[in-house]
Amino acid sequence: MTPLSPPIDPQIPAASNDRRELERGRFTAVWNLVFRGMRRAGIDAKSFYATVGIFLVVGAIIAVAATVAFASLAENVLEGGTQTFDVAILEWLHGHQSKALTAVMVEMTYLGTGTVVIVVVGVAALFLWHTEHKHSARLLLAATIGNILLNGALKLVYHRPRPSVFAWQTTAVSSSFPSGHAMSATVVYGTVAYLLLRLQKHRWAKMLTLTGATLLILLICLTRLYLGVHYPSDVLGGIVVGLAWASFCMATLEASLVLARRRSPREVVEERRAPNELPDV
């Protein structure tokens, strides 16, 4: 007699092909194209090991491209090629300061400080872990720790003095390039937004999350210029290298999930993306 097949748990994806039919969240138009291309390449490869490699390679390519851009910017900074532009922007901002706006900028800049960032990461990581998104929680922690170490190393390498165009409106420590606030905001808030996009179902919610994260990052970067503690090139450098590190971490998460689903699918059921947006009834 043929043994009966065990009941199928509806909460567990039947096959990896089901996941490939789900539309990936839009982090940006570029990310959408990149992940669609990686998914298609994974199908063509007909091997989950190849798919893992594709995610890692593409993530590495993005990271290397951003690193090259950062290196080029850093070279211009060291040679003084950005100094005229940097000073002109800071002088313009100083000429448009007001007491009320300065008070707002001082409060907003704290969103990029180490203490606030650690609290945000801690709360987000605990939520992800509690909801069985342990791979995502690990990614967020790794991205944050890596960001701190990388920013510290880069500041030691370049050791650029802080601006002295006008009196600072807040306190600042360490060297100027790249901006730690800009880098932390890009990595942490960008990664949190990416993880949230993976869990959201509706397109309007995804767009709201993406827009909010982008505006928050840009606002934190602007506060560093307005308050006089960073040059524009410092902020740009922090954004570029932050994107490089965050991109690699995101690609690594996608690759690790492909591998984890093959080895132990029951342990990563909750890590799957939200289903496509359904039409309102």
Q: Check: CB of residue 35 under 8 Å from CB of residue 254.
A: yes
Between CA 37 and CA 55 the distance in angstroms is 10
Q: Active-site residues: which are they?
A: 181, 230
Q: Check: CB of residue 192 under 8 Å from CB of residue 140.
A: yes
Residues comprising the chain, all counted: 281
Between CA 94 and CA 83 the distance in angstroms is 16
- Determine how many CB atoms are found less than 10 A away from the CB of residue 217: 24
Q: Check: CB of residue 234 under 8 Å from CB of residue 61.
A: no
Between CA 147 and CA 239 the distance in angstroms is 12
Between CA 250 and CA 194 the distance in angstroms is 8
SS3 state of residue 253? helix
